[in-house]
Structure 1
Amino acid sequence: MAQIYISLGSNIEREYHIKHGIISIANAFDIAIEAMQLSSLFESKAIGFDSDNFYNMVIGLECDISVEEVASMLKKIEIAHGRTHQDKKFSPRTLDLDLLLYDDLIIEKPAQLPRDEICYNAFVLWPLSELAPQSLHPILKQSYQELWQSYDKSSQQLEIVANCW
């Protein structure tokens, strides 16, 4: 079984899409929501463009499918929630799902793993550090808790909206 972490983000009907994103992931992996690790829900400003604030969180779960299947499954869930992949990189999102980690795999395709965003965006690193504080980043060999502690928290404003779902 592989331990995976997925980031969820939305700034269009964000509460609806985050909740239904969690349900869709549970259904796709055929597991109960209670069997998944759920970070706190965070609110952050859009980065790189002017738009409504985002809700973001991270989900952790174990799966026995390949990284290619996981990446494909996440794209299908995004599309089912109204996401089109013709969208510009910096644009509003109904549901944005990114595979952050698949065990300690280091690859570029079908997804960049570990995802660069882990170290650059507070809305990814903080929730990941909640779920996997002692796990080591496969390249940097630092724990996510250490990475979060040394992160420049003044660079991005982030607030906890809810501690659990």
Structure 2
Amino acid sequence: MAHIFVGVGSSINRQDNIREGILLLTDNFGELKLSSIFESESVGFKGGLFYNLVVELNSELSISLVIQKLKQIEVQLGRPEKAIKYAPRTLDLDLLLYDQEIDHALDLPRAEITKNAFVLQPLAELAPTLIHPILGVSYQSLWSQYPTGKQKLWKVASPILS
């Protein structure tokens, strides 16, 4: 059984798409653990605010099948199959970690873990003592070293998943 972390984000109809995405992830993978939801500015393009969180799950599916299911969920919620990288999203599901696998071709562990506050902070909240498979440092430690003010991020106060 693989221990998996998925980054979840939306900037279009954020509340509904995050809620629907979580329901579809549960349908496909079973029990989930969720970080808090954070609101952040767009990174890499001028656009609206995003909601982001990290989801923890376990699955017996291979890496390629997990990625395939994530892409199917994105498409089901209106994301074009050939979406451009820096653009508004109905739903963005990124495989961050699959056990402690290191696969540079698949970007595992996902490089944006250490680059983007909207990935690192919720991951550190959900798995503070888990060790990054390349850097050998916990996610809480990585978050505590993240440059203050590099990216703006706010915890969403109201529960949108209820």
TM-score, normalized by the shorter chain, greater than 0.5:
yes
- TM-superposed deviation, 1:162: 3.7
Aligned to 1:137: 132
> When the two structures are superposed, what TM-score results if normalisation uses the length of structure 2?
0.95
Write out per-residue CA displacement over residues 39-91 of structure 1, whole angstroms, 9 at most, x where no aligned residue.
00000000111111000000001111111110000000000011013222110
Aligned to 2:5: 5
Distance 1:156 1:44 in 2: 8
* Unaligned ranges ≥5, structure 2: none
Number of residue equivalences? 160
Worse-superposed segment, 78-87 or 90-99: 78-87
Distance 2:148 2:23 in 1: 31
Aligned to 2:85: 89
Q: Give identity over the alignment, percent.
A: 47
Q: Summarize the Cα distance change of 1:74–1:135 in structure 2 as closer, same or farther, 3 Å threshold.
A: same
Structure 1 residue runs of 4 or more that deviate by more than 4 Å after TM superposition: none
Aligned to 2:117: 122
Give the alignment of 1:1-165 within 5 angstroms: 1-29=1-29, 31=30, 35-109=31-105, 111-162=106-157, 165=161
Check whether the contact 1:39–1:163 (CA below 8 A) recurs between aligned residues: no
> When the two structures are superposed, what TM-score results if normalisation uses the length of structure 1?
0.93
